[in-house]
Amino acid sequence: MNNKSLTNEDLAPIPQEKRSWGTWNFVALWIGMSICIPAYMLASGLIKEGLNWWQAILIIFLANAIVLVPMILNGRAGAKYGIPFPVLARSSFGIKGANIAAMLRAIIACGWFGIQTWIGGAAIYAFLQMWFPNLAPIDSQSLFPQILPMLCFLGFWLLNMFVIYLGVDSIKKLLVFKSFFLPAAAFALLAWALDAAGGFSNIFNHSSINTSSTAFGKLFFPALTGMVGFWATLSLNISDFTRYAKNQRSQIRGQAIGLAPSMTLIAFVGVIVTSATIIVYGDAIWDPVNLVGKFNNHWAAGFALIAIVLSTLATNVAANLVSPANDFSNLSPSKISFRTGGYITGVVGILIFPWKLIAIPGDYIFTWMGGYSALLGPIAAIMIVDYFLIRKQTLQVEELYKHKGAYTYSGGFNHVAIISLLAGIIPNIPGFLVQIKVLNSETVPEIFSKLYGYAWFLSFFISGVLYYLLMKKR
């Protein structure tokens, strides 16, 4: 019998008859989540860092092709058994140990929730600036921005909380609406760039002027790691969505069709528009909210800002509230519901100071995303190795909800998984501390800084191999 302290209606397996997501639901999911402002900022941030248009697009395409593999693999268990990520993690980490993986994922989701909420609030503030030109630019240098931008941020935060209050069905409808609306807005922004900068040829030629092969070689793997890190979060908790799939074919085809093309499209728009801003304004404007604020046509700017708000809302709720809501619920299923977990995510998202996380494009890409990829790569590897190589894609679902059962291990913790997790994280710590300037690069062997550029790949490999070897010896 299932233990009530390990389950609630949000964590329990979804019966087959209630799984209604087909291929195009997953396509809409990925269009809705991928065509978003942070994805745009990834591509434009690479231009800001010195890469040209084709280098930025190539890196983003490769990263999404890579991350699609663990996405589909981790999605299989969800589609087969109807279980969410924190319950699936019990198989490899143990009944209690799963909370370690879930909390690492949840805290990162809280950071992303804060970032997206800040973007939405900044778009609302930019809309106000159109009608009240005397409003000052947002102060991103101080610890806190001004009062009015903060009020816009908090207002958008409340809108996100309202959507989580309405439940998962409202999220599905919001994503379907966005999947049609936002691509139109993206193409409108692309049309502006082509008109303002004199067409593709002028943009491509100008984009390639100051870019060297040396810069590309230096930035390639750190940027690729950061791009993989962007969806390393969803590659863990994709079963939170695939548990609604009608069958395996739906989730596999839907993700394959929806993820890489959508991300490449928004990357292309971000690259072209940001390259155009160099020609038009003399500087690479990587933040679309700042760019829209420069438009003279208030109607066009208003439409763009509405698109940003809707885009951010849909992506934020789907990508950054569903998973941590389940993760926090997993801490105490009898006391924390999905809705309460969403509220906890919202509060932490404020406390993480998101306006500071995206103030500088290099910090956004290489520090924030590169850093957390070193935490999530090991978890993905452990879960995939456990499900495919150790369990042979067979789980005892009832045992996942028992304190004393097949997945109890030692006091509820699988120490092999914890050791493997730490083994994957530790080699990246010196490089991360250098990146955030806690340690001086001259006092740390150069090899650690180089290894950090491969954070997700290195940690994935180390943890996956070690977990397999140690589990086979049990």
User: In this predicted structure, which of 25-34, 102-111, 169-178, 426-435 has the lowest mean pLDDT?
Assistant: 169-178
User: Where do runs of H (alpha helix) occur along 137-247?
Assistant: 147-166, 168-197, 200-207, 213-237, 239-242
At a CB cut-off of 8 Å and minimum separation 6, what does 325 contact?
10, 164, 338, 339, 340, 341, 342, 344, 345
Q: What is the pLDDT of residue 407?
A: 95
pLDDT (average), residues 25-43: 78
Distances (CA, A) of 416 to 20, 93, 382, 396, 467: 37, 8, 10, 20, 6
Residue 140's pLDDT band (cuts 50, 70, 90): confident
pLDDT (average), residues 24-40: 79
User: In this predicted structure, which of 172-181, 381-390, 435-444 has the lowest mean pLDDT?
Assistant: 172-181
> Amino acid identity of 195?
D
Q: What is the pLDDT of residue 368?
A: 67
* Both structure tokens of 229: 């890190």
Q: What is the pLDDT of residue 450?
A: 84
Distance CA 370, CA 147 (A): 31
Distance CA 344, CA 328 (A): 8
Mean pLDDT: which of 124-138, 240-254, 308-322 is highest? Answer: 240-254
* Both structure tokens of 249: 């074919």
What are the extents of the domains in the chain?
4-358
298: exposed, middle or buried (Cβ count in 10 Å: 0-12, 13-18, 19+): exposed
CATH topology of domain 4-358: Hydantoin permease (1.10.4160)
Write out pLDDT tens, residues 236-274: 889 999 999 999 999 999 999 988 888 888 888 888 888
Q: Is the pLDDT of residue 454 over 70?
A: yes
pLDDT (average), residues 334-363: 81
- The torsion region of residue 405 among left (phi > 0), alpha (psi -120 to 50) and beta comes to beta
Q: 3-class SS at 15?
A: coil
Answer whether 204's CB lies under 8 Å from 53's CB.
yes
Answer whether 181's CB lies under 8 Å from 307's CB.
yes
Residue 360's pLDDT band (cuts 50, 70, 90): low
Residue 343's pLDDT band (cuts 50, 70, 90): very high
Q: Is the pLDDT of residue 366 over 60?
A: no
Distance CA 209, CA 278 (A): 12
Q: Is the pLDDT of residue 1 over 50?
A: no
Distances (CA, A) of 69 to 63, 64, 66, 207, 232: 11, 9, 6, 32, 11
Q: Where do the DSSP E strands lie in 320-438?
A: none
At a CB cut-off of 8 Å and minimum separation 6, what does 173 contact?
none
Summary mean pLDDT of the chain: 85
Answer whether 128's CB lies under 8 Å from 367's CB.
no
**Smallest Cα–Cα separation from 301: which of 53, 133, 112?**
133
Q: What is the pTM of this model?
A: 0.83
Distance CA 31, CA 178 (A): 8
Distance CA 361, CA 366 (A): 8
Q: Is the pLDDT of residue 158 over 80?
A: yes
Q: What is the pLDDT of residue 442?
A: 81
Q: What is the pLDDT of residue 69?
A: 93
Q: Is the pLDDT of residue 311 over 80?
A: no
Distance CA 1, CA 441 (A): 55
Answer whether 317's CB lies under 8 Å from 85's CB.
no
